[in-house]
């Protein structure tokens, strides 16, 4: 920082500058801004999501971009006026664009996509004229720790993968492929860069695809959990995947390599089930805070009969000692009536798209089940 204008410096200058206002670029800026904003909002009687009573006016804030929603129009208008007194704000009307996400409304529901973000990314990488592909990952290729190919620019690889990670916020169809390429951030090679380029070629074919939240009469939470046993050829760890549907619409999903090596497919599936249940509990708590009516128990779908049997069987086995914590956790939630576990055939397992690379037919079928559409498609 430069010395402020008008401050005289002498040879024996031994003073320090005290920062009166946090500035952009400093490490403490986000914290200082959030503390200031929180103090103002709480000063008007608002609380931070702890089962509030009365009318709801919900604030979603990212730095200085804010979304306001709620169940009472007058409360929302009042909050706008209160914020105007404290800060310089601009009301942009109904939500259409937020942090690279485009929102479109119709009588049937709400569509969220990142079409402009995708086109900008393709333009930046010179891929606007590339040959498109129908799936984000080749089913015949497995990325290994030592693939024998030459190293590539580490900075460029990390920037590309970082942008794809952000894009996956509205694109669960690239969730698994992005999860795989992100495992090699510190050691990118030509083969791994080819896998990243493959994702870009897939995006070239589907730039406007996004999530569609439709009006529905459903009132339950459904979670699909799956695992690809020993799928990593590098360390033979399994990949867990889950996706959760609230009122029939996809709201959260995840594809992640498990932290330990599973000794059987049932163990891998069991760990994935525990992660899915944790997600369901979090969703249930969030919706309770928002006073959204729910139907219990929540349903967890799994395509492994052995894992379901272990979850429901109260008898302890020597073969389940290594997953004892997860077993007790799942059993407890089933007995409490929070969850029930149901079997679903593998060809109906929606989370399969988050655990492995799939062929075109199966991939397109599961993408449709996730509720993804392309509102820019002329058809």
Q: Rounded to an integer, what distance in angstroms lies between the CA atom of residue 303 and that of residue 52?
A: 39
What single-letter DSSP state applies at residue 151?
Answer: B
Helices 305-312, 265-289: axis angle to 10 degrees equals 60
List the structure tokens of 163: 């942008």
Parallel, antiparallel, or unpaired for β 220-228 and 295-302?
A: parallel
Give the residue among 202, 188, 210, 185 at the shortest CA–CA distance from 127.
Answer: 202
Helix, strand, coil shares of the chain as percentages rounded to 5? 40, 20, 40
pLDDT averaged per 10 residues, the chain (length 379): 71 71 72 84 76 73 84 83 86 89 90 93 91 92 80 92 94 93 90 93 92 87 91 85 92 91 86 91 86 84 88 63 72 87 90 92 92 75
**210 close to 370: Cβ distance less than 8 angstroms:** no
Beta strands in 215-338 (DSSP E): 220-228, 239-246, 249-257, 295-302
Helices 73-86, 29-43: axis angle to 10 degrees equals 130
**159 close to 336: Cβ distance less than 8 angstroms:** no
Q: Computed from CA positions of residues 350, 354, 359, 364, in that sequence, does the dihedral angle turn out positive or negative?
A: positive
Question: What contacts 24+ positions apart, CB below 8 Å, involve 285-294?
Answer: 286/49, 287/221, 287/246, 288/51, 289/49, 289/50, 289/51, 289/52, 290/49, 290/56, 290/58, 291/56, 293/219, 294/219, 294/220, 294/221
| Per-residue pLDDT at 379 | 42
**212 close to 372: Cβ distance less than 8 angstroms:** yes
What is the residue whose two structure tokens read 């929070």? 338
The number of C-alpha atoms within 13 Å of 219 and in the hemisphere containing its C-beta is: 8
The strand pairing partners of 343, in sequence order, are 302
| Per-residue pLDDT at 314 | 59
- Contacts for 179 with CB less than 8 Å, ≥ 6 apart: 239, 255, 256, 257
Cβ of 351: how many Cβ atoms within 10 Å?
28
End-to-end CA distance of the chain: 56
List the structure tokens of 150: 């030459």
| Per-residue pLDDT at 378 | 47
What is the residue whose two structure tokens read 């406007």? 208
State whether residue 330 is helix, strand or coil. helix
Q: Rounded to an integer, what distance in angstroms lies between the CA atom of residue 170 and that of residue 97?
A: 13
In this structure, what is the dihedral angle of CA atoms 142, 146, 148, 150, given to the nearest 10 degrees? 100
Q: Rounded to an integer, what distance in angstroms lies between the CA atom of residue 71 and that of residue 211?
A: 23
């Amino acid at each position: 920082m430069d010395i402020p204008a008008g401050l005289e410096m002498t040879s024996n200058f031994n003073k320090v500058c005290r920062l009166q206002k946090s500035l952009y670029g400093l490490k403490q800026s986000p914290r200082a801004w959030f503390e200031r904003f929180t103090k103002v909002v709480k000063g008007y009687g608002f609380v931070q999501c702890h089962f509030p009573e009365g009318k709801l006016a919900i604030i979603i804030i990212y730095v200085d971009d804010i979304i306001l929603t709620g169940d009472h129009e007058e409360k929302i208008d009042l909050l706008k006026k209160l914020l105007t007194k404290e800060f310089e704000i601009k009301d942009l009307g109904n939500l259409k664009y937020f942090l690279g996400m485009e929102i479109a409304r119709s009588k049937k529901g709400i569509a969220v996509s990142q079409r402009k973000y995708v086109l900008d990314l393709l333009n930046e990488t010179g891929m606007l004229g590339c040959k498109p592909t129908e799936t984000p990952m080749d089913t015949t290729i497995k990325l290994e720790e030592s693939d024998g190919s030459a190293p590539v620019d580490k900075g460029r690889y990390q920037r590309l993968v970082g942008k794809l990670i952000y894009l996956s916020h509205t694109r669960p169809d690239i969730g698994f492929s992005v999860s795989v390429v992100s495992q090699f951030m510190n050691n990118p090679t030509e083969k791994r860069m080819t896998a990243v380029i493959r994702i870009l070629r897939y995006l070239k074919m589907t730039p406007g695809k996004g999530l569609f939240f439709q009006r529905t009469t459903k009132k339950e939470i459904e979670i699909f959990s799956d695992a690809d046993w020993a799928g990593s050829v590098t360390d033979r760890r399994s990949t867990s995947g889950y996706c959760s549907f609230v009122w029939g619409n996809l709201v959260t999903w995840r594809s992640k390599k498990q932290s330990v090596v599973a000794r059987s497919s049932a163990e891998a599936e069991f760990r994935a089930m525990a992660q899915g249940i944790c997600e369901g509990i979090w969703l249930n708590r969030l919706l309770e805070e928002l006073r959204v009516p729910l139907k219990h128990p929540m349903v967890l779908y799994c395509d492994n009969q052995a894992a379901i049997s272990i979850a429901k069987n109260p008898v302890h086995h020597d073969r389940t000692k290594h997953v004892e914590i997860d077993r007790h956790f799942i059993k407890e939630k089933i007995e409490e009536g929070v969850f029930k576990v149901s079997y679903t055939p593998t060809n109906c397992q929606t989370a399969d798209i988050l655990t492995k690379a799939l062929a075109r037919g199966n991939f397109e079928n599961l993408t449709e089940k996730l509720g993804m559409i392309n509102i820019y498609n002329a058809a």
